Amino acid sequence: MKRLLTAALALCALASPAAAQVAMDPDFTEGGGTEIDRGSFRIYQSDKLLGTEVFVLMSNGDSLLVTSRSFQVLPGADTLRKTVAQVVGLMDYGLRSYRSTQHYGGHTLSRALFLADTSFSASRQLDQQGSADWYPLPPGRVFVMDPKSFICFDLICRSLQGKVFDQRPLKLFVLGPRDTMLDVTAADLGSETVRWGSRPVQARKLSIGDARTTFTVWVAPRGNLLRLAETTTGLRVERDPPAIKARAPKPKPTG
């Protein structure tokens, strides 16, 4: 667990966008780290491409290290860069620790969550000013929603893989000027065939939200997020399909 936390802290400080896709800290890999998945999301607002979020999931023992890096151009042409590194349970995706660093508008915002047995701390540092709060830890799993990052929804989808339900309660800790623990609901909307790259995929369709905001997600058969949409704001997030391998040219007849 100590090696995982060290790797998470190191990944938050990486400066190169390519490093988010590699995400191979030597201490982590030497301890038996195994890559579970990697990919990228394209983020749209009213069909306008804002940017991307690349992510990597690596397992070690009973833990999963999840890292992501976002780059978005927001209204006003200002750019946002955000790195996220969190450790969750390998089987249940329950949160164990969380860190993020955001650069936007000439400011740097760093967030960190650390869980104890019955409580957890949430620290915030904006440039040189910092503070921390303690909260009671609710029963069950907690997922973290960090503005402008969407790997949270991928982890929620994976945690629901193979689960049969009409509605299922979830705990969502939303980071913001005033952090909030929300009770949200995941509802099964059946299945739907969606186009992903060059092929159709039979996806599981879910809604995730509360009375104020609801996200619709489409989930791949193996449990990962394929697409997310929120109709009020026009937000849409789509996972990039794998590159199509070019067919080898047919050999020319001889003779």
| Residue 2 reports pLDDT greater than 70 | no
> What number is the average pLDDT over the span 224-251?
86
Compute the radius of gyration of the chain from its Cα atoms: 19
pLDDT at 197: 86
Q: Is 20 left (phi over 0), alpha (psi -120 to 50) or beta?
A: alpha
| Residue 9 reports pLDDT greater than 90 | no
pLDDT at 75: 78
Three-state secondary structure call for residue 227: strand
pLDDT digits (tens, 9 = 90+) for 81-115: 999 999 999 999 999 999 999 999 999 999 999 99
Domain boundaries, the chain: 2-239
More confident residue, 118 or 13: 118
| Residue 255 reports pLDDT greater than 80 | no
Report how far apart, in Å, the C-alpha atoms of 228 and of each of 42, 87, 141, 157 are. 10, 23, 21, 11
